[in-house]
Amino acid sequence: DLNKDFQITWGDGRAKMLNNGELLTLSLDKASGSGFVSRNEYLFGQIDMQLKLVAGNSAGTVTAYYLSSKGSNWDEIDFEFLGNLSGDPYILHTNVFSQGKGNREQQFYLWFDPTADFHTYSILWNPQHIVFSVDGTPIRKFKNLESMGVPYPKDQPMRIYSSLWNADDWATRGDLVKTDWSQAPFTASYRNFKANACIWSSGSYSCSSNSWFNQELDSDGEDKLNWVQKNYMIYNYCNDAKRFPQGFPQECMTA
């Protein structure tokens, strides 16, 4: 029951809980998008959610699904799905913020149509690393490199957020393609949320199970990660020399 785990935060009726909480939908029209947030805060965990993205001409729309803390030095772990013209692939945009600093984007095409059915998007967040996965296939790993002076999200509890909003000033081909409001309302759907995670409450956290707490990728997982990065990654900040003329960020040196 998604009602137990989430509350709708904005959208003036555009977000809906359906089927006794089995399904949550967000909608966007010209007047407004919509969003929701988790009732709990988490500090480390394995977070899974099934999403079905906006179908058809979704250019200009962004479906964001992410973990975030509060404050000026916030931590954040992002999935963002950048819509596109019918027939063009969605772009899956990922980012990691630690202590208010992000700029760690990696972008991917998917090997399936994310609008045709539900697919599982997962975040494994433990003291060793953050692993982004799609249908159980790892697509990105961000290692804890605090020993090299790279901040890592480990002290601030985060809530899960999602929103569907209009970003046609940047999202689709760098603002070249605008939202076609004749296609509205745009709708994204959510179901089958699972959080095998530590819940933060009153200054401490409790974990129902922590089998994931020291989980590393096995050789099969590393092979799948390499396969995705070789065949489906379309942008990696660690390869963008124009952006870092003074030298790449420290974490890029260990890749």
Q: Which of 22, 80, 146, 216 is an active site residue?
A: 80
Q: Which pair of structure tokens corresponds to residue 114? A: 């994310």
What pLDDT sits at residue 178?
Answer: 86
pTM here is 0.95
Q: Please, which pLDDT band fits residue 74 given cuts at 50, 70 and 90?
A: very high
Closest CA to 211 of 64, 19, 44: 44
Q: How confident is the model over 200-223, as a mean pLDDT?
A: 89
Nearest CA-CA partner of 222 in 135, 110, 145, 131: 131
The active-site residue out of 41, 76, 105, 146 is 76
User: Does the annotation count 76 as an active-site position?
Assistant: yes
**Would residue 80 show up in a list of annotated catalytic residues for this protein?**
yes
Distance CA(17)–CA(248), nearest Å, equals 44
**Statement: residue 203 has pLDDT above 90:** no
Residue-averaged pLDDT of the chain: 94
Q: In the predicted model, what is the mean pLDDT of residues 147-166?
A: 96
- Give the containing element (helix H, strand E) for 79: strand 76-82
Where do the domains of the chain lie, and which CATH numbers do they carry? 2-252 (2.60.120.200)
Using CB atoms within 10 Å of the CB of residue 38, give its burial: 0 to 12 exposed, 13 to 18 middle, 19+ buried.
Answer: buried
